[in-house]
């Protein structure tokens, strides 16, 4: 278990497994999640939202991918369970590019990608421009089916 994460490893893995079962059922190839209740429930990672993109990509197959700011990498690693791939972006680089690359590297070049309903427009807009062939749909039902309550308010930070 990472240093600053209260979710046991087995819990984390079983929740991701359950999410993937739901993704299969609903026909989603990946789910993109921002910090908030869904990220906390699934991974135990608490992170404040800011203008700097911090995103989790859960592909149907392959390693989870976290996209996060380079200068926060050390602090973030204390929170993230081992096994997930971490891709850091520097201040003048595009985080959307990293999200798009994770999708591509996992073989996701078509089909439906679920968005955490609370994902902010600028992240969705940035990713869809780089991967316009994908169909972006709400992941609300999938998350609900996997046991995530997405209706509670998400954490906000200036």
Residues that bind other proteins (CB under 8 A): 4, 50-51, 69-72, 74-75, 78, 90-92, 115-122, 124-125, 136-138, 140, 158
101 or 128: CB nearest other proteins? 128
CA–CA separation, 63 vs 58, rounded Å?
8
Report in angstroms how near the CB of residue 84 gets to other proteins at its nearest: 19
CA–CA separation, 86 vs 76, rounded Å?
9
61 or 122: CB nearest other proteins? 122
64 or 123: CB nearest other proteins? 123
* Strands laid side by side in the 28-33 sheet: 85-89, 65-69, 55-59, 28-33, 112-115, 135-138
Report in angstroms how near the CB of residue 108 gets to other proteins at its nearest: 18
12 or 154: CB nearest other proteins? 154
CA–CA separation, 53 vs 79, rounded Å?
16
CA–CA separation, 71 vs 133, rounded Å?
32
């Amino acid at each position: 278990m990472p240093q600053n994460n209260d979710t046991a490893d087995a819990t984390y893995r079983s929740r991701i497994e359950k999410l993937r079962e739901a993704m299969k059922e609903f026909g989603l190839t990946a789910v993109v999640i921002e910090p908030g209740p869904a990220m906390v429930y699934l991974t135990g990672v608490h992170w404040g939202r800011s203008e700097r993109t911090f995103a989790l990509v859960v592909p149907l197959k392959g390693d989870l991918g976290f996209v996060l700011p380079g200068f926060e990498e050390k602090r973030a690693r204390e929170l993230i369970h081992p096994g997930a791939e971490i891709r850091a972006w520097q201040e003048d680089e595009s985080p959307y590019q990293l999200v798009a690359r994770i999708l591509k590297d996992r073989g996701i070049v078509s089909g439906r990608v679920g968005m955490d309903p609370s994902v902010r427009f600028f992240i969705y807009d940035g990713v869809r421009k780089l991967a316009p062939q994908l169909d972006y749909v709400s992941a609300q039902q999938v998350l609900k089916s996997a046991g995530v309550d997405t209706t509670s308010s998400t954490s906000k930070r200036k």
